Amino acid sequence: MITVHHLNNSRSQRVLWLLEELGLEYEVKRYQRDAQTMLAPPELRAVHPLGKSPVIVDGELVLAESGAIIETLADRYGAGRLAPAFGSRERVRYLYWLHFAEGTAQPPLLLKLLFDRIKHKSPLLVRPIARAIADKALAGYVLPNIKRNLDFMESELGTNEWFAGPQFSAADVQMSFPVEALRVRGGLDEKRPRLMQFLEKIHSRPAYRRAIERGGEYALMK
């Protein structure tokens, strides 16, 4: 039995979704973020030294890092489903988007979250200075990168129905989290109809909905 160490409102939601798509049995061990800091509770460090989610335990294997988890589960249990064939053109695209999600899409979204907090939650005395520094970083680096990523993803979905090609794949599962985060805090709206349609399509998948029921609260941070 696979165990998913799952944190509320987090990236691990997509691991539950992949397991539902694969029709596998699994157990969910839920962890709750600290309401103030939003950090994971220290118990997660007993599962993996970094103390972050997701982590899966599958027999002897303890694996963190959502991209590695998703690639491993699709290869182990997909029997050719949800991952394009080795050596195909789609396999390269599949790997690209599996890595893009955490390697390129997430970093500016995390920076935006942090700089927005600095702007709004710094001590009052230093807030004007903190705000000026945060605004400079946001305008000079963070927001232009988010916009470029959005434009790129939107144009890629114009040449392929799904991120890896004509078929839905585990790369779409991995990409769901940044696209959802872009909708909540990255300026994704109706001006980018393909990404909006991607969200609509994934949210209507029965496996996605079952995973939400298993995982509980899933509202991404603004």
Ligand X SMILES: N[C@@H](CCC(=O)N[C@@H](CS)C(=O)NCC(=O)O)C(=O)O
Task: Using CB under 6 A, list all residues that contact ligand X.
Answer: 7, 10-11, 39-40, 52-54, 65-66, 102
Q: Rounded to the nearest whole angstrom, what is the least distance from the CB of residue 50 to ligand X in the complex?
A: 8
CA distance 99 to 95: 6
Q: Rounded to the nearest whole angstrom, what is the least distance from the CB of residue 65 to ligand X in the complex?
A: 5
CA distance 13 to 178: 12
Sheet holding 2-7, edge to edge: 26-31, 2-7, 55-58, 61-64
The token pair that represents 5 in the structure block: 């160490």
Please say which residue, 73 or 192, places its beta carbon nearer to ligand X. Answer: 73
Please say which residue, 53 or 169, places its beta carbon nearer to ligand X. Answer: 53
- Check residue 41 and report its DSSP letter: P
Q: Rounded to the nearest whole angstrom, what is the least distance from the CB of residue 30 to ligand X in the complex?
A: 13
CA distance 198 to 176: 9
Please say which residue, 53 or 176, places its beta carbon nearer to ligand X. Answer: 53
Q: Rounded to the nearest whole angstrom, what is the least distance from the CB of residue 139 to ligand X in the complex?
A: 25
Please say which residue, 101 or 142, places its beta carbon nearer to ligand X. Answer: 101
